[in-house]
């Protein structure tokens, strides 16, 4: 009787841990970038090189862009035209065509080894790159390089309607932005041992 209860508790605990880890953002960022100075953002226009990198229908594209704007606005950032913004935001919805991802990575000048800060390593970040996941990148407009990347599994289902898809995308962006190093220079996030706090 005790063994079956113990076994039931262990199974329940494993289920809870696995469910909570499935839908969490995996994020890493560049430790030399001053995130505390970021007050504004912009996104790339549809007629930019980013618009041609993947074939998304307008409904999905609009939903992602709206979720990005709402998420960044709710976190205290102001939208500005790209010439005046502190950072640029790019996104990619992963599909089976990893050649599209490679082109996207070249466009945002992604360097996995350069994003060595945050709670996740480059290896952890890259193991989450599965079809159906959303990538969100913050790009330094001066260097035109990715300084922050987050990956989140959207978990779309064939029967999802547009409202369910919108909710999943908004939830993904909200979860991703929880890992943004808010209002601090990265050196302020480190404790005396050089570990993140």
**Residue 15 counted as domain residue:** no
**Residue 164 counted as domain residue:** yes
**Residue 68 counted as domain residue:** yes
Instruction: Determine the average pLDDT of the residues in 178-193.
Output: 56
**Residue 33 counted as domain residue:** yes
**Residue 174 counted as domain residue:** yes
Indicate if the pLDDT at residue 55 is higher than 60.
yes
| pTM check: above 0.85 | no
Indicate if the pLDDT at residue 185 is higher than 60.
no
Encode pLDDT of 97-107 as tens digits: 888 999 999 99
CATH code for position 53: 3.30.160
Q: Which two tokens stand for residue 129?
A: 């790159």
The number of C-alpha atoms within 13 Å of 152 and in the hemisphere containing its C-beta is: 23
**Residue 157 counted as domain residue:** yes
What whole-number distance in Å separates Cα of residue 71 and Cα of residue 65?
10
Encode pLDDT of 116-159 as tens digits: 887 788 788 888 889 999 999 999 999 999 999 999 999 888 88
Contacts of residue 165, Cβ cutoff 8 Å, sequence gap at least 6: 60, 63, 154, 156
**Residue 71 counted as domain residue:** yes
**Residue 4 counted as domain residue:** no
What domain count does the chain have? 1
Domain carrying residue 63: 25-182
What whole-number distance in Å separates Cα of residue 23 and Cα of residue 20?
6
């Amino acid at each position: 009787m005790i063994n079956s209860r113990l076994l039931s508790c262990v199974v329940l605990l494993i289920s809870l841990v696995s469910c909570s880890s499935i839908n969490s953002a995996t994020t890493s960022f560049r430790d030399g970038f001053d995130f505390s100075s970021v007050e504004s953002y912009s996104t790339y226009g549809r007629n930019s090189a980013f618009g041609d990198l993947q074939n998304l229908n307008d409904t999905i594209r609009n939903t992602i862009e709206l979720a990005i704007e709402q998420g960044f606005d709710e976190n205290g950032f102001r939208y500005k035209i790209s010439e005046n913004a502190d950072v640029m935001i790019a996104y990619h919805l992963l599909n089976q065509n990893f050649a599209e991802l490679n082109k996207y990575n070249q466009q945002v000048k992604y360097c996995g080894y350069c994003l060595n800060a945050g709670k996740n390593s480059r290896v952890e970040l890259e193991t989450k790159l599965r079809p159906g996941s959303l990538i969100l990148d913050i790009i330094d407009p001066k260097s035109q390089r990715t300084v922050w990347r987050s990956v989140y599994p959207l978990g779309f289902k064939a029967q999802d309607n547009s409202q369910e898809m919108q909710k999943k995308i908004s939830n993904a962006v909200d979860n991703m932005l929880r890992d943004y190093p808010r209002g601090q220079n990265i050196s302020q996030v480190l404790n005396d041992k050089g570990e993140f706090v």
